[in-house]
Structure 1
């Protein structure tokens, strides 16, 4: 199994800080087989097609009312 990077953006969003750049920086070094785990207060629907375009598959799980865990796995060599 490859590298696993985990990022929790719930606090950023609570403070009205847009986490998009932080997420993009976190996934930049990932290679095929690596995993990126995102914790967010809602299902990050706008992010999903962006991540798909960057070669990631995903599985979204609602852990609690305001806690979603989305596991992205980098595919192939995009």
Structure 2
């Protein structure tokens, strides 16, 4: 769960040309233990969830508009 002073980086992959997976993994590499990454996507990235779990991340997903999903990812 989030902490009071958690730092959140945002990565919007809606305009990425091609597969955004590499961009997401690169961004996660720069997330510290007390930080989070908010992924903004045009669809719910269900295939990503298994990868995140295997790599030791927890995530919360929220649909904020018809074609806008926010996934907040944190190290476990």
What is the distance in 1 between the residues matched to 2:27 and 2:7? 12
- Provide structure 1 residue ranges, at least 5 long, that are not aligned to the other structure: none
User: 1:11 deviation in Å?
Assistant: 1.2
Task: Give the count of matched residue pairs.
Answer: 72
Residue correspondence of structure 1 range 10-49 to structure 2 within 5 A:
10-12=14-16, 15=17, 17-49=18-50
- Provide structure 2 residue ranges, at least 5 long, that are not aligned to the other structure: none
With normalisation by structure 1, the TM-score equals 0.82
The CA RMSD measured in Å over matched residues stands at 1.3
With normalisation by structure 2, the TM-score equals 0.84
